[in-house]
Amino acid sequence: MLRRTKIVATLGPATESEEQLTKLIEAGVNVVRLNFSHGDADDHRLRAERIRSIAASVGRSVAILGDLQGPKIRIGRFQNGKVHLPDGAEFILDAELPIDAGDENQVGLAYKNLPNDCKVGDVLLLDDGRLSLQVKAIDGSRITTTTLDGGELSNNKGINLAGGGLSADALTEKDKEDIKLAASIGVDYLAVSFVRCAADLDLARKLMKEAGGNAAVLSKIERAEVVKDHALLEEVIKASDAVMVARGDLGVEIGDAELIGVQKHMISEARRLNRPVVTATQMMESMIENTQPTRAEVFDVANAVLDGTDAVMLSGETATGKRPHEVVRAMGRICEGAEKNEKLIARSELDRTYAGETDAAIALSAMLAANTLEGVKAIVCLTKTGATPLWMSRKNTNLPIYAMTRYPATERRVALYRGVESVAFDSGSTYGSEVNERAIGELKERGLLTAGDKIILTKGESREVEGGTNTMQVLVVK
């Protein structure tokens, strides 16, 4: 059975060697994530080179996702490394305190604008929400708080404002330098952290192009204010080439109880607006140490698949875990198990505005024919940019969608699209029925089609035209 849901794996110390990277790709990874929060330029460049080389050697198209760190909204450091905050204790966050002078009464701030971003009565969440502090008073650089939920607090832990609203820019100076690095590496996707609005994505895309790159821009949705405003969320999704349900910081800001509904809504909106969507954070976290996922993790991954996500993502499981390739195999099995329940997978339609484009209309017509004609075995799409197979992937089907292209960048781009498999194919100067025969011949040689199979084939009558798909044919393999 062809696994339709794609798997994104984060690289790190556990996947440093060529042997581990080979196992990861052979296990079924479709996209690798370079986390620019860790490692230096040489580390990321070496990993990217190895991925490209290994993928080529095993005949796979694997996309590279460069993930920007975003603003560091963190406390400073403690003189003794950590402190314990009891419930009800007073604790001070001071933007002017030396960054490494923290003690049991106070700590400095890496994010100096926090006193201006919060007000009396706000709740600050530290260390992924493990500790909570209520703002009691603000005096210049000093925020006096009362500890609501205490515990151990150590160096450099993150800060979230319950309900969102921190003003930090999405792109820091470090991110702008990392965009240049991402362009030089040739990443296929650039992930922007803590997106606030469409302008953040427009700036990232502009900087990427200025640096000579052509990566698709992926927005990580992790601010409460974005998901609370439906118009703003739609604006952000439309400005993105892909989106991520980044459940870590998002869950801290909006609360766990709200997260599942928001996840389902975001996946549905991304599919409606024709954008690939990745579901991320703690999906198989117990497998950093353990050999089997928990039942809750199995249901979490399966639920995202049934929601219609294009991809599910692994973070620490493959970056620092004990058995990275085994986690990928386990996640693949869960995806395939969920995909067997085709009738349960969320149905969604494209926004009606897209129906006015010829290639979109051809894509939707092809999917209707594929799902209603008896005996169809595959959908074959000759494509330049990957736009037509993306539209196809928004419609549910249990049939494979083969995106045939001469462009390696397009091969890697479609690696994120649900149910789409790329096939390297150069049509040369052939047209009409001759190009059909050559494309079908290529698929036969790969063992993907056999004589007698019925297929749906889409293409453009004019070659090398973006958005030029204008033909759909029903063919029988000779």
Active site residues: 33, 74, 220, 281
- Distance in angstroms (rounded) separating the CA atoms of residues 1 and 341: 13
Annotate the chain with three-state secondary structure.
CCCCCEEEEECCHHHCCHHHHHHHHHHCCCEEEEECCCCCHHHHHHHHHHHHHHHHHCCCCCEEEEECCCCCCEECCECCCEEEECCCCEEEEECCCCCCCECCCEEEECCCCHHHHCCCCCEEEECCCCEEEEEEEEECCEEEEEEEECEEEECCCEEEECCCCCCCCCCCHHHHHHHHHHHHHCCCEEEECCCCCHHHHHHHHHHHHHCCCCCEEEEEECCHHHHHCHHHHHHHHHHCCEEEEEHHHHHHHHCHHHHHHHHHHHHHHHHHCCCCEEEECCCCHHHHCCCCCCHHHHHHHHHHHHHCCCEEEECHHHHCCCCHHHHHHHHHHHHHHHHCCHHHCCCCCCCHHHHHCHHHHHHHHHHHHHHHCCCEEEEEEECCCCHHHHHHHCCCCCCCEEEEECCHHHHHHHHHCCCEEEEECCCCCCCHHHHHHHHHHHHHHCCCCCCCCEEEEEECCCCCCCCCCCEEEEEECC
Query: Left if phi > 0, otherwise alpha if psi is -120 to 50, otherwise beta: which for 420?
Result: beta
Nearest to 15 by CA among 261, 259, 322: 322
CB contact at 8 A, 350 and 364: yes
473: β partners: 457
CA diameter of the chain: 80
